[in-house]
Amino acid sequence: MSDGGVVAAHDVLLVGGGAAGLRAAIGISESNPELDIAVISKVYPMRSHTVSAEGGAAGVAGEDDTIEEHIYDTISGSDWLGDQDAIEAFVNEAPRELLQLEHWGCPWSRQPDGRIAVRAFGGMKKKRTWFAADKTGFHLLHTLFQTSLKYTTLRRYDEWFVTRLLVDEGRVHGVVAVELATGEIHTIMAKAVVLATGGCGKVFPFTTNANINTGDGMALALRAGAPLKDMEFVQYHPTGLPFTGILITEAARAEGGWLLNKDGYRFLQDYDLGKPTPTPVLRSMELGPRDRVSQAIVGEMQKGRTIDTPYGPVVHLDLRHLGAKLIDTKLPFVRELCLKYERIDPVKEMIPVRPVVHYMMGGVHTDINGATPVQGLYAAGETACVSINGANRLGSNSLPETLVFGARAGRAAAAYVQSLGEPSATTQDAIRAQADDEVRRLRAELMGREGSEKVPQLREQMQHTMEGAAGIYRNGPDIAAGSQKLAELRERMEKIGVADSSRAFNTELTAALELANMMDVAEAMLISAGRREESRGAHQRTDFTKRDDEKFLMHQLVHRNDAGELGIEQLPVTITRWPPGERVYGR
Amino acid sequence: MTVEIGPQAAARAAEESITIEVTRYDPDSDQELRTQSYEVPLRKDWTVLDGLNHVKDTIDPTLSYRWSCRMGVCGSCGMNIQGQPSLSCGTFLSDFAPGPVRVEPLANFPVVRDLVVDINDFMEKLPKVKPWIIRDDVDVHAGEFLQTPAELDAYTQFSSCINCMLCYSACPVYGLDPEFTGPAAIALAERYNLDSRDRGARERLDVLIEREGLWGCTFVGECTRVCPKHVDPASAIQRYKLKAAQESVRAVLLPRGAG
């Protein structure tokens, strides 16, 4: 077999088969059927982590709602770090994208008259979150996947793991990937590449994220010369199940669930989030934004008002007063997950929950069309940072983000490739040399290599290092200590051994490559967190407790130089009509 | 927030253990499937997947299996556990105490490596049943297609399929006749037939009415029994057969397209 050989050449290659990648693929298939496009993913598309999203997708729908209000909620939710032009585009286009999904068959929950139903969500002043019970991501992903099957010319590389972007003179030309079933290494040429590989929650020990969320696209982009943006902003979801970290959707609170401390007290009222009322009030109490609610739970831990369990301190999410009928209609998955993984029935018992790493606000730096500074390289979805989420994403904004910016990146990539000819002979030589180099690295340095270090141990140490240095509350000395520890772990990575020398479905090799990706992402997070000497949104510094607009109303871009060293530069936030103000919830 | 958590930390605190007997197969070196036993901690909140991850991380890094969401929705981790097609993330080790627990690849599929099976047959069959909305009058600007909660309920059950392949593994007909379209794909076809927004039932019937599409099923009902999402593919197949039988009677009586 000819390792590293070119197996195909496409106009556009979408890396990742979740919502963003599939939305881009369908969009290009519809608008530019003459283009040759392909989706490559390390898992079958329907295994992508979009599948785990529960609560819903925001898009202005109700007669009492306005575009302006969704924009304002998103900007204030972002603690003014989101780019206002991007947020405007997002909010304007989200409803049409959700309607498009409806036309493709998404089983959105309905009102009695057959119109789309919407529910409340945290940090949103109006009900505007479309939902398919509490399996919104599952239905959205399968609708996109099944719709994509219509396009018989859409090529898919299922279970192919991309290990390198091929870039010459600032322009992308394709990828090198391992076909997992056979272990063969291939080069796929592409005039444009769209990264849609999702998030990086597995950098931390306790996360709602799936095993596959290892920041692959972020690491690929960084190494290819595209900067990462705002990597210090890691979202903790307030309500994860202890031990597993399984997500209990925010919709549980939107439907009327309460957060209680060990005394049965609705403690959020002590954290400037409003006053308790029997039924939910928008942008108040349990419908506060995720950063503030997670921080409040830590506050309760520090006051000794949480409940101790073998898996750490928890608070209670109480749904009992909602009744079996509402829970079975609106929150069936919550009940199923609690029964299976906690052996409790939320109809009769309170759910133990604790904050859990859930989402990466930062990502590959793109413009409003998903374009990165590397020509032909695009990114969309959680992999990317446009940025609409700024310092804190609002719940139910991420699913429409995958659709709006998946479609935008697809359109931009399709337009870009129209004008391109074949790469020059010099470029082709350079690309071939890079591909050969990658094959050598994979074969010689990793597969079946003897080594004193093991992937699982280094991974566990990295995860605990990150929890210690970049958790809900951070400070300079902890970040510095974490950086030092991470540098040591990266050195030890050089001595990693891969005992599995088989070619077929070598998951030990995949795990080693994923760990390398996570180490790069982790390093970018810590350098960004160390540099941002203020508190904003999900980035809370105990040594710099105030928001500092004078110095830090700025994005931070992490670049990597040829020697592999990271550097940071600032980029102004785009402010159009909404000057920075105070974030007010519940008053 | 630096409490020690996670499977490895939990393992250190464990006392009891259980043996899992795992099928191994490496196409590079094995002529046939073999079995390897591993002892893992027995904890009440550990799933079979936690046990496999313990093996992978601390005993044998070469063991291969698929997993991702660990919450029963991505459909990656289907395996035969104690002879039953199961999601390993939703099956608890303690249910098999004192053990041993037998863990094998799903039946009726070629084995790629250890517990990883080749599901390409399903991936090729799925598009053939046209699992997407078929209708001509599509204009997103005109707003949503209305669909009442009752109309939604009519197909919701069949839309819950996670493509985990447990039903194919359990299906004795698929085991004997690989041409059979199979439970999940037929259930997804019926999911769209029952969707009030869809106009494609006739097209899908044309596909399924062919010899192996539908008729192979003998209503054993194993597919429904093993489905982790209560999709009930058996009833989808039954409904389809009824329609197909009616269609074939009509086809005799009427020229094609007249009905």
Q: What CATH number labels B7-117?
A: 3.10.20.30
Interface check for B58 against chain A (CB to CB < 8 A): the answer is: yes
- Chain A positions in Cβ-Cβ contact with residue B128 (cut-off 8 Å): none
**A10 is a catalytic site residue:** no
Contact B68 A506 (CB under 8 A): no
* Distance in Å, alpha carbon of B130 to nearest chain A alpha carbon: 7
Q: Place A443 in a pLDDT band, splitting at 50, 70 and 90.
A: confident
What one-letter code names the amino acid at A504?
A
Report DSSP state, residue B51. H
Interface check for A505 against chain B (CB to CB < 8 A): the answer is: yes
- Chain A positions in Cβ-Cβ contact with residue B148 (cut-off 8 Å): 110, 112-114
What is residue B254's predicted lDDT score, i.e. its pLDDT?
Answer: 61
Backbone conformation region of residue B54, classed left if phi is above 0, alpha if psi is from -120 to 50, else beta: alpha
Q: What are phi and psi of B29, to 5 degrees?
A: -135, -15
Instruction: Identify the closest residue of chain A to B131 by CA–CA distance.
Output: A146
Instruction: Identify the closest residue of chain B to A473 by CA–CA distance.
Output: B1
Q: Can you tell me the distance from the alpha carbon of B215 to that of B250, in angstroms, rounded to the nearest whole number?
A: 18
Percent of the residues in chain A that have a pLDDT greater than 90, as a whole number = 95
Mutate to test the interface with B, among A106, A108, A138, A465 (most CBs of B within 10 A): A138
For residue A399, the Cα-to-chain-centroid distance in whole angstroms is 10
What one-letter code names the amino acid at A584?
V
Q: In the structure encoding, which two tokens stand for residue A396, read together?
A: 């139910």
Interface check for A139 against chain B (CB to CB < 8 A): the answer is: yes
Interface check for A419 against chain B (CB to CB < 8 A): the answer is: no
**Residue in A245, A248, A323, A312 with CA at minimum distance from that of residue A286:** A248
The chain-wide mean pLDDT, for chain B, equals 90
Backbone conformation region of residue A304, classed left if phi is above 0, alpha if psi is from -120 to 50, else beta: left
Q: Three-state SS for B113?
A: strand
Contact A107 B131 (CB under 8 A): no
Percent of the residues in chain B that have a pLDDT greater than 70, as a whole number = 90
Q: Three-state SS for A6?
A: strand
Q: What is the mean pLDDT of residues B107-117?
A: 98
Interface check for A52 against chain B (CB to CB < 8 A): the answer is: yes
- Chain A positions in Cβ-Cβ contact with residue B64 (cut-off 8 Å): 500, 504-507
Q: Do A394 and A70 form a contact (C-beta atoms < 8 A)?
A: no
What is residue B1's predicted lDDT score, i.e. its pLDDT?
Answer: 38
Partner B, chain A 541-570, Cβ-Cβ below 8 Å = none
Q: Do A254 and A280 form a contact (C-beta atoms < 8 A)?
A: yes
What is residue B257's predicted lDDT score, i.e. its pLDDT?
Answer: 46
What is residue A184's predicted lDDT score, i.e. its pLDDT?
Answer: 95
Q: Is the pLDDT of residue A135 over 60?
A: yes
Contact B69 A210 (CB under 8 A): yes
Cβ contacts of A180 within 8 Å, gap of 6 or more: A42, A159, A160, A161, A505, A506, A510
Contact B5 A205 (CB under 8 A): yes
Q: Can you tell me the distance from the alpha carbon of A538 to that of A75, in angstroms, rounded to the nearest whole number?
A: 14
Contact B61 A455 (CB under 8 A): yes
User: Pseudo-torsion of CA B168, B170, B173, B177, nearest 10°?
Assistant: 50
ipTM of predicted complex: 0.97
Q: What is the mean pLDDT of residues A292-298?
A: 98
What is residue B3's predicted lDDT score, i.e. its pLDDT?
Answer: 47
Q: How far is CA B248 from CA B179, B244, B252, in A?
A: 21, 6, 6
Partner B, chain A 282-301, Cβ-Cβ below 8 Å = 298, 301
The pTM score is 0.96
Choose the weakest-confidence range: A307-311, B8-12, B121-125, B142-146. B8-12
Q: Do A372 and A378 form a contact (C-beta atoms < 8 A)?
A: yes
* Distance in Å, alpha carbon of A52 to nearest chain B alpha carbon: 7
Q: Do A164 and A434 form a contact (C-beta atoms < 8 A)?
A: yes
Q: In the structure encoding, which two tokens stand for residue A444, read together?
A: 């010689």
Which residue out of A23, A49, A173, A253 is catalytically annotated? A253
Instruction: Identify the closest residue of chain A to B147 by CA–CA distance.
Output: A114
Partner B, chain A 18-37, Cβ-Cβ below 8 Å = none
Interface check for B147 against chain A (CB to CB < 8 A): the answer is: yes
Q: How far is CA A174 from CA A35, A163, A224, A378, A428, in A?
A: 16, 11, 11, 12, 11
The reply to whether B7-117 and B120-253 are identical in fold is no
- Chain B positions in Cβ-Cβ contact with residue A240 (cut-off 8 Å): none
Contact A96 B140 (CB under 8 A): yes
Q: Can you tell me the distance from the alpha carbon of A102 to that of A139, in angstroms, rounded to the nearest whole number?
A: 11
Instruction: Identify the closest residue of chain B to A147 by CA–CA distance.
Output: B132
* Distance in Å, alpha carbon of B187 to nearest chain A alpha carbon: 13
pLDDT tens for A55-78 read 999 999 988 999 999 999 999 999
Q: What is the mean pLDDT of residues B112-130?
A: 97
Q: What is the mean pLDDT of residues A122-151?
A: 97
DSSP state letters, B31-43: SS-EEEEEEEE--
Alpha helices for chain B (secondary structure H): 7-13, 48-54, 120-125, 149-156, 166-170, 172-176, 183-193, 201-208, 211-214, 222-226, 233-253
Q: What is the mean pLDDT of residues A358-382?
A: 98
What is residue B244's predicted lDDT score, i.e. its pLDDT?
Answer: 82
- Chain B positions in Cβ-Cβ contact with residue A499 (cut-off 8 Å): 61-62
pLDDT tens for A376-390 read 999 999 999 999 999
Contact B69 A52 (CB under 8 A): yes
Interface check for A302 against chain B (CB to CB < 8 A): the answer is: no
Q: How far is CA A4 from CA A174, A175, A438, A516, in A?
A: 12, 10, 8, 21
Terminal C-alpha separation, chain A: 67
Q: Is the pLDDT of residue A197 over 80?
A: yes
Determine whether B163 is exposed, middle or buried from the number of CB atoms within 10 Å of its CB (0-12, 13-18, 19+). buried
Contact A313 B3 (CB under 8 A): yes
Q: Is the pLDDT of residue A300 over 60?
A: yes
Interface check for B67 against chain A (CB to CB < 8 A): the answer is: yes
What is residue B253's predicted lDDT score, i.e. its pLDDT?
Answer: 67
Q: Can you tell me the distance from the alpha carbon of B217 to that of B171, in angstroms, rounded to the nearest whole number?
A: 9
Option in B1, B5, B113 nearest A311 (CB): B5
Q: Do A498 and A462 form a contact (C-beta atoms < 8 A)?
A: no
Q: How far is CA A297 from CA A238, A264, A313, in A?
A: 8, 14, 10
Contact B6 A205 (CB under 8 A): yes
Q: Is the pLDDT of residue B2 over 50?
A: no
Instruction: Identify the closest residue of chain B to A45 by CA–CA distance.
Output: B74
Q: Do A404 and A89 form a contact (C-beta atoms < 8 A)?
A: yes
Q: Place A100 in a pLDDT band, splitting at 50, 70 and 90.
A: very high
Which residue out of A128, A237, A290, A393 is catalytically annotated? A237
pLDDT tens for A518-550 read 999 999 999 999 999 999 999 999 999 999 999
What is residue A142's predicted lDDT score, i.e. its pLDDT?
Answer: 98
Q: Can you tell me the distance from the alpha carbon of B132 to that of B143, in angstroms, rounded to the nearest whole number?
A: 19
Q: What are phi and psi of A312, to 5 degrees?
A: 100, 170
Terminal C-alpha separation, chain B: 67
Interface check for A577 against chain B (CB to CB < 8 A): the answer is: no
pLDDT tens for A8-29 read 999 999 999 999 999 999 999 9
* Distance in Å, alpha carbon of A209 to nearest chain B alpha carbon: 7
Determine whether A491 is exposed, middle or buried from the number of CB atoms within 10 Å of its CB (0-12, 13-18, 19+). exposed
Contact B61 A52 (CB under 8 A): no
Architecture of domain B120-253: Orthogonal Bundle (1.10)
**Structural domain boundaries of chain B?**
7-117, 120-253
What one-letter code names the amino acid at A397?
N
* Distance in Å, alpha carbon of B254 to nearest chain A alpha carbon: 31
DSSP state letters, A134-164: T-HHHHHHHHHHHHHTT-TT-EEEETEEEEE
Option in B2, B118, B149 nearest A110 (CB): B149
Q: What is the mean pLDDT of residues A154-180?
A: 97
- Chain A positions in Cβ-Cβ contact with residue B133 (cut-off 8 Å): 103-105, 147
- Chain B positions in Cβ-Cβ contact with residue A152 (cut-off 8 Å): 127
**A547 is a catalytic site residue:** no
3-state secondary structure A8-33: EEEEEEEECCCHHHHHHHHHHHHHCC
Pairing of strands A160-168, A258-260: unpaired
When comparing pLDDT for B243 and B59, which is higher? B59
Q: Place B252 in a pLDDT band, splitting at 50, 70 and 90.
A: low
Q: What is the mean pLDDT of residues B126-130?
A: 96
Partner A, chain B 97-126, Cβ-Cβ below 8 Å = 112-114, 116, 118-119, 123, 126
Interface check for B37 against chain A (CB to CB < 8 A): the answer is: no
- Chain A positions in Cβ-Cβ contact with residue B112 (cut-off 8 Å): 181, 504-505
Q: Place B12 in a pLDDT band, splitting at 50, 70 and 90.
A: low
Cβ contacts of B163 within 8 Å, gap of 6 or more: A44, A46, B75, B122, B126, B184
Q: How many CB pairs under 8 A join A and B?
A: 185
Q: Is the pLDDT of residue A137 over 60?
A: yes
Element (H, E) at A258: strand A258-260
Interface check for B178 against chain A (CB to CB < 8 A): the answer is: no
What is residue B206's predicted lDDT score, i.e. its pLDDT?
Answer: 86
Q: Place B229 in a pLDDT band, splitting at 50, 70 and 90.
A: very high
**Residue in A115, A140, A27, A94 with CA at minimum distance from that of residue B144:** A115
DSSP state letters, A514-574: HHHHHHHHHHHHHHHHHH--S-BTTBEETTB-S--HHHHSEEEEEEE-TTS-EEEEEEE--
What is residue A449's predicted lDDT score, i.e. its pLDDT?
Answer: 83
